[in-house]
């Protein structure tokens, strides 16, 4: 009997030991996941080479030819956010200058200081210094250049002319039309397009593999839908979901990004077009109570109306009303009233077509 008791005590101790070890392993796993997600993945996985920039093949071919020739003109990178403009500029500098790239490259954000002083002081001071090492010229990368005032752009044009021997300018903007004509005529303009599904999916799967995440095809489609061609937004969505667990599910993506599922918004639109006002209103309330903003709902309605099986005339009518609601909210109108009014206008519209 005493021996049996001793064996029982030993078994209990072993069980406790195993339980403690399992607990420690689980805790270590949690710490490792937390450590990984503490890093900002958009910076951690920022492309280091031009070949790593996703979805802009034609532009990258031209930039790589500049690297081979060791020379380039002034450049304008135009396009929406998150499509690789900054990544391409930094990768270009890295390949041109190698280890001394940071001494010959400076990045300024024009939206921080929009006036003429930033051109007279910061930009001119960097432009007038000689390149480091065997580099023939330095590069000034001016992000959000379309935020510069016309006076600042005029001063920039004179600086570009004066220091063209030792400095090249790369201007990044969302709208090239906001850059004055004298600057545009001195630059090669490259228009970056929103990223395709294949480009986003390939990069997301690469990051998920490096981070040890389980990612289904439905989750990739959800990330692509949320991103809307913006790689930075796609990577941020993946990292936000990864904080909650290593298995990435579509519902996690929609929840962490405060985005409605496409089928929810489509159901809302169809209810309104069928004249079911109170049903549509209730579906709208469900979305807003989840913290989804009016801007986001309108943007998703805009995307889905274009894809829905409706006549061209009906689409024109609905898009016009969505645009009017968006404009009014932007101008400061009450968001809830404008969304309700939009649903009411859809209900008054016949489903025809």
pLDDT digits (tens, 9 = 90+) for 225-240: 999 889 999 999 999 9
Which residue segment(s) compose the domain that 18 sits in? 2-38
pLDDT digits (tens, 9 = 90+) for 171-191: 999 988 999 999 999 999 999
Phi, psi of 210 (to 5 degrees): -65, -30
The residues pairing with 214 across neighbouring beta strands, listed in sequence order, are 247
* CATH assignment of the domain containing 330: 1.20.272.10
Same domain, 155 and 94: yes
Same domain, 86 and 145: yes
Give the pLDDT score at 264. 93
- For residues 322-351, give the mean pLDDT: 91
Element (H or E) spanning 173, and its range? strand 167-173
234 within domain boundaries:
yes
pTM for the whole thing? 0.77
* CATH assignment of the domain containing 78: 3.40.50.300
What strand order describes the sheet that includes 105-109?
105-109, 138-143, 167-173, 74-78, 187-191
* Residue 118 or residue 27, greater confidence: 118
pLDDT digits (tens, 9 = 90+) for 243-272: 988 899 999 999 999 899 999 999 999 999
* pLDDT surpasses 90 at 302: yes
- Smallest CA-to-CA distance from 238 within 259, 271, 211 is with 211
Number of structural domains, the chain?
Answer: 4
Same domain, 89 and 66: yes
End position of a domain, from candidates 191, 226, 246: 191
Q: How far apart are CA 173 and CA 143, in angstroms?
A: 7
Lowest-confidence region among 34-48, 80-94, 330-344: 34-48
- For residues 205-218, give the mean pLDDT: 92
96 within domain boundaries:
yes
**Helix, coil or strand: residue 259:** coil
Confidence bin at 11 (pLDDT 50/70/90): low
Same domain, 157 and 185: yes
Residues of the chain with pLDDT > 70, as a percent, come to 86
Give the pLDDT score at 331. 93
CA dihedral 73, 77, 78, 83 (to 10 degrees): 160
Q: Can you list the alpha helix ranges (DSSP code H) found in the chain? A: 2-38, 41-44, 57-69, 85-97, 116-118, 124-128, 150-162, 181-184, 197-211, 217-227, 231-242, 250-256, 262-273, 277-289, 294-307, 312-330, 335-348
45 within domain boundaries:
no
Residue indicated by tokens 């392993």: 25
Return the structure tokens found at 286.
């469900």
Same domain, 340 and 270: yes
334 within domain boundaries:
yes
Give the pLDDT score at 40. 87
Confidence bin at 353 (pLDDT 50/70/90): very low
Same domain, 179 and 68: yes
**Helix, coil or strand: residue 258:** coil
Same domain, 112 and 244: no
44 within domain boundaries:
no
Same domain, 172 and 122: yes
Confidence bin at 115 (pLDDT 50/70/90): low
Q: What is the DSSP letter of 144?
A: T
Decide: 49 and 91 in contact? Cβ < 8 Å.
yes
Same domain, 138 and 84: yes
- For residues 104-126, give the mean pLDDT: 75
- For residues 8-36, give the mean pLDDT: 54
Same domain, 89 and 159: yes
Same domain, 282 and 173: no
Three-state DSSP string of 66-105: HHHHCCCCEEEEECCCCCCHHHHHHHHHHHHHHHHHHHCE
Same domain, 319 and 210: no
6 within domain boundaries:
yes
CA dihedral 323, 325, 326, 332 (to 10 degrees): 150
Confidence bin at 155 (pLDDT 50/70/90): confident
Which residues have a Cβ under 8 Å from the Cβ of 324 and sit 6 or more positions away?
A: none
Mean pLDDT of the chain: 86
29 within domain boundaries:
yes
């Amino acid at each position: 009997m005493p021996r049996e008791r001793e064996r029982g005590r030993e078994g209990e101790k072993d069980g406790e030991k195993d339980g403690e070890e399992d607990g420690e392993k689980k805790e270590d796993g949690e710490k490792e996941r937390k450590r990984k997600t503490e890093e900002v993945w958009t910076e951690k996985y920022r492309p280091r080479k031009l070949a790593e920039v996703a979805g802009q093949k034609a532009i990258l071919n031209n930039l790589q030819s500049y690297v081979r020739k060791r020379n380039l003109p002034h450049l304008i990178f135009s396009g929406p956010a998150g499509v690789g403009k900054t990544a391409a500029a930094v990768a270009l500098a890295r390949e041109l200058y190698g280890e001394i790239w940071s001494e010959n490259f400076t990045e300024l954000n024009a939206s921080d200081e929009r006036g003429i002083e930033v051109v007279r002081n910061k930009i001119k001071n960097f432009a007038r210094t000689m390149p480091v090492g065997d580099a023939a010229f330095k590069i000034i990368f001016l992000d959000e250049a379309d935020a510069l005032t016309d006076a600042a752009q005029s001063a920039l044009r004179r600086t570009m002319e004066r220091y063209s021997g030792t400095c090249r300018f790369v201007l990044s903007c969302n709208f090239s039309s906001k850059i004055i004509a004298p600057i545009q005529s001195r630059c090669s303009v490259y228009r970056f397009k929103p990223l395709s599904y294949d480009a986003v999916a390939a990069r997301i799967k690469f990051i998920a593999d490096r981070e040890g995440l389980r990612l289904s095809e439905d989750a990739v489609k959800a990330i692509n839908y949320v991103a809307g061609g913006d790689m930075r937004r796609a990577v941020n969505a993946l990292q936000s979901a990864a904080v909650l667990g290593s298995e990435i599910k579509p519902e996690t993506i929609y929840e962490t990004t405060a985005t409605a599922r496409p089928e929810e918004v489509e159901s809302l639109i169809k209810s309104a077009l069928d004249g079911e006002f109170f049903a549509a209103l209730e579906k709208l309330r469900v979305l807003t109570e989840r913290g989804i903003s009016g801007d986001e709902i309108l943007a998703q309605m805009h995307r889905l109306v274009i894809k829905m099986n409706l006549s061209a005339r009906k689409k024109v009518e609905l898009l016009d009303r969505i645009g009017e609601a968006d404009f009014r909210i932007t101008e400061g109108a009450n968001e809830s009233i404008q969304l309700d009014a939009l649903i009411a206008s859809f209900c008054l519209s016949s489903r025809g077509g």
